[in-house]
């Protein structure tokens, strides 16, 4: 069986370093808001290319706190609109609605699966205060056109970088392209902790200060609270793990790209639509997503023939029970994507033999039909 993602194997790759780092924290007796988190924040800010990095509890909190900080700064208020791709993971939308902001769902491009920048301007109203770009599947969703629209209409550009750690756009790392970015270190992400973790990156000092305070109950100094904040902190053990794994992120991403190149070269069935890559720096292949009208059949066939494939995601946010107020929306591109996509196994630890087997099974499904 080719596993979709063997997280145990990824951890084993760095086992000695990780054990060593964790023991150091266990022995230190200091588990929150300590040197290891400060060290990671410094390292990750340097890696992303921003002035500030604030560790938080998870990726959802990172996005939620960015928006809340903008509300505290007076840049947005309840009822204001945030533009977001309709085909994102639901957390991007929850971060918006949890702040009583209104998500305005925009269709993606069918070729890139990223927000269609041709459809943004017509959706901008006087209440629009921000655009949340999601680098979905690890592919850069930012475009110069989006940045121009933000400047023209005075909108905050927020990046959801949960799936794209290490992705680059013309030499700049995603997470440094907009006004602020949310990052997730969920174990399955390209930079994964051994539990939950997240971070905010920004060059805006005011936002950074507010975000740090909001993650710590709204505290500005010990026992002085300016906001009704959250408890959202990256803990020392996860920071220690991330300090180890950050050193290997670029080589891990290179291996993902190598696997992606194999798939792109070897999967030959014309009915399978392969992901389009026009800049190998601008995709870190968090997921390798193919598309076919026979998706459900193919999913069954792969799973029956020893290849664990998954769907990201089967139901779009606007069709979920959680968002009844969005259920009436008609978003044909998004709906088509959710019906037709399929994710093949990809990770830094899949072997060449496993990749070959996936290719063989995918191609053989097609030749039977
Ligand atoms: C994983 C993910 C999140 C949320 O991150 P968590 O750490 O799981 O809270 C947000 N947005 C996208 C696109 C994600 O893939």
Q: What is the dihedral of CA 264, 366, 306, 296, to 10 degrees?
A: 100
Instruction: Enter the DSSP assignment of 326.
Output: G
Q: Which atom of ligand 1 is nearest to the CA of 92?
A: 11
| Residue 128, strand partner residues | 81
Q: Examine the domain organization and report whether 223 and 158 are in the same domain.
A: yes
Q: Examine the domain organization and report whether 150 and 40 are in the same domain.
A: yes
Ligand 1: residue of 5, 91, 189 to mutate (most ligand atoms within 8 A of CB) is: 91
CATH of the domain at 41: 3.40.640.10
Residue 13 belongs to domain spanning: 7-246
Query: What confidence score (pLDDT) does residue 34 get?
Result: 97
Q: Examine the domain organization and report whether 101 and 163 are in the same domain.
A: yes
Region of residue 203 (phi > 0: left; psi between -120 and 50: alpha; otherwise: beta): alpha
At 358, which helix (H) or strand (E)? helix 352-368
Residues of the chain with pLDDT > 90, as a percent, come to 98
Q: Examine the domain organization and report whether 295 and 306 are in the same domain.
A: yes
Q: Examine the domain organization and report whether 232 and 327 are in the same domain.
A: no
Q: Which atom of ligand 1 is nearest to the CA of 88?
A: 13
Task: Output the CA 184–ligand 1 centroid distance in Å.
Answer: 6
Task: Output the CA 28–ligand 1 centroid distance in Å.
Answer: 31
Q: Examine the domain organization and report whether 240 and 363 are in the same domain.
A: no
Which tokens sit at 105? 């769902």
Nearest CA to ligand 1 atom 2: 162
Per-residue pLDDT tens over the stretch 197-234:
999 999 999 999 999 999 999 999 999 999 999 999 99
SS3 50: coil
1 in any annotated domain: no
Mean of the pLDDT values across residues 349-357? 98
Length of the chain, in residues: 369
Q: Examine the domain organization and report whether 19 and 160 are in the same domain.
A: yes
Using the predicted structure, report yes or no on whether residue 369 has a pLDDT greater than 70: no
Task: Output the CA 207–ligand 1 centroid distance in Å.
Answer: 21
Per-residue pLDDT tens over the stretch 266-283:
999 888 999 999 999 999
- Please count the other Cβ atoms lying within 10 Å of the Cβ belonging to residue 69: 28
171 in any annotated domain: yes
Place of tokens 């005075």: 154
- Boundary residue ending a domain (246, 264, 279): 246
CA proximity to 282, closest of 311, 313, 253: 253
Per-residue pLDDT tens over the stretch 3-38:
999 999 999 999 999 999 999 999 999 999 999 999
Report how far residue 305's alpha carbon sits from residue 358's, in angstroms, rounded to the nearest whole number.
Answer: 9
2 in any annotated domain: no
Split at pLDDT 50, 70, 90, the class of 53 is very high
| Residue 340 neighbours by CB under 8 Å, 6+ apart | 273, 291, 292, 293, 295
36 in any annotated domain: yes
DSSP, residue by residue, 273-287: BPPP-S-GGGB--SS
Query: What confidence score (pLDDT) does residue 263 get?
Result: 98
Query: What confidence score (pLDDT) does residue 236 get?
Result: 98
158 in any annotated domain: yes
DSSP, residue by residue, 94-130: HHHHTTT-EEEEEPBPTTT-SB-TTSSGGG--TTEEE
pTM above 0.95, yes or no: yes
Q: Examine the domain organization and report whether 18 and 146 are in the same domain.
A: yes
Task: Output the CA 62–ligand 1 centroid distance in Å.
Answer: 9
Place of tokens 């995603």: 174
Using the predicted structure, report yes or no on whether residue 60 has a pLDDT greater than 60: yes
Instruction: Enter the DSSP assignment of 329.
Output: -
Sheet with 102-106, side-by-side order of all strands: 52-56, 198-202, 180-184, 156-160, 128-134, 81-85, 102-106
Split at pLDDT 50, 70, 90, the class of 303 is very high
How distant, in Å, are the alpha carbons of 269, 300, 326, 335, 343 from that of 310? 19, 10, 25, 17, 5
Per-residue pLDDT tens over the stretch 80-117:
999 999 999 999 999 999 999 999 999 999 999 999 99
Nearest CA to ligand 1 atom 6: 59
Task: Output the CA 91–ligand 1 centroid distance in Å.
Answer: 6
- Boundary residue ending a domain (219, 246, 273): 246
| Residue 290, strand partner residues | 342
Query: What confidence score (pLDDT) does residue 217 get?
Result: 97
| Residue 85, strand partner residues | 106
- Residues with CB under 6 Å of ligand 1 are 58-60, 88-89, 91-92, 134, 160, 162-163, 184, 186, 196, 198
Task: Output the CA 162–ligand 1 centroid distance in Å.
Answer: 5
Sequence-ordered alpha helix ranges (H) in 129-235: 144-153, 205-214
Mean of the pLDDT values across residues 57-80? 98
Q: Examine the domain organization and report whether 27 and 49 are in the same domain.
A: yes
Q: 307 phi and psi, to 5 degrees? A: -120, 115
- Boundary residue ending a domain (246, 261, 292): 246
The total of structural domains in the chain comes to 2
307 burial class (0-12, 13-18, 19+ CB within 10 angstroms)? Answer: buried
CA proximity to 344, closest of 270, 303, 289: 289
CATH of the domain at 278: 3.90.1150.10
85 in any annotated domain: yes
Q: Examine the domain organization and report whether 72 and 212 are in the same domain.
A: yes
Q: Examine the domain organization and report whether 122 and 219 are in the same domain.
A: yes
Query: What confidence score (pLDDT) does residue 350 get?
Result: 98
Using the predicted structure, report yes or no on whether residue 367 has a pLDDT greater than 80: no
Using the predicted structure, report yes or no on whether residue 78 has a pLDDT greater than 90: yes
Mean pLDDT of the chain: 97
142 in any annotated domain: yes
203 in any annotated domain: yes
Q: Examine the domain organization and report whether 255 and 193 are in the same domain.
A: no
Query: What confidence score (pLDDT) does residue 368 get?
Result: 58
Which tokens sit at 151? 């400047």
């Amino acid at each position: 069986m080719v596993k979709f993602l063997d997280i145990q194997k990824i951890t084993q790759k760095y086992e000695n370093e990780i054990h060593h780092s964790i023991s150091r924290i266990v022995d230190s007796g200091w588990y929150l808001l300590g040197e290891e988190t400060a060290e990671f924040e410094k390292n990750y800010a340097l890696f992303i290319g921003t002035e500030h990095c604030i560790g938080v509890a998870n990726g959802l909190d990172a996005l939620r706190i960015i928006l809340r900080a903008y509300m505290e700064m007076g840049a947005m208020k309840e009822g204001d609109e945030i533009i977001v791709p309709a085909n994102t993971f639901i957390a991007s939308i929850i971060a918006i609605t949890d702040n009583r902001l209104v998500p305005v769902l925009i269709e993606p491009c069918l070729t890139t699966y990223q927000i269609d920048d041709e459809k943004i301007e017509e959706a901008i109203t006087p209440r629009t205060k921000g655009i949340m770009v999601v680098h979905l599947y690890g592919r850069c969703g930012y475009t110069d056109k989006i940045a121009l629209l933000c400047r023209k209409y005075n909108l905050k550009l927020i990046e959801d970088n949960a799936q794209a750690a290490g992705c680059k756009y013309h030499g700049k790392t995603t997470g440094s392209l907009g006004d602020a970015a949310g990052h997730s270190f969920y174990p399955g992400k390209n930079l994964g902790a051994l539990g939950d973790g997240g971070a905010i990156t920004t060059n805006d000092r005011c936002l950074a200060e507010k975000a740090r305070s909001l993650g710590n109950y709204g505290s500005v100094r010990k026992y002085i609270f300016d906001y009704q904040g959250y408890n959202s902190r990256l803990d020392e053990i996860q920071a220690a793990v991330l300090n180890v794994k950050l050193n290997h992120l670029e080589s891990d991403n290179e291996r993902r790209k190598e696997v992606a190149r194999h798939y792109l070269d070897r999967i030959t069935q014309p009915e399978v639509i392969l992901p389009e890559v026009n800049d190998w720096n601008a995709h870190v292949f968090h997921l390798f997503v193919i598309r076919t009208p026979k998706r459900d059949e193919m999913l069954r066939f792969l799973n029956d023939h020893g290849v664990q494939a998954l769907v990201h995601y089967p139901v779009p946010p606007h069709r979920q029970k959680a968002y009844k107020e969005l259920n009436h929306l008609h978003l044909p591109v998004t709906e088509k994507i959710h019906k037709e996509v399929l994710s093949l196994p990809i990770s830094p630890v899949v072997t060449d033999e496993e990749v070959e087997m996936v290719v063989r099974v995918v191609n053989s499904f097609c030749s039977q039909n």
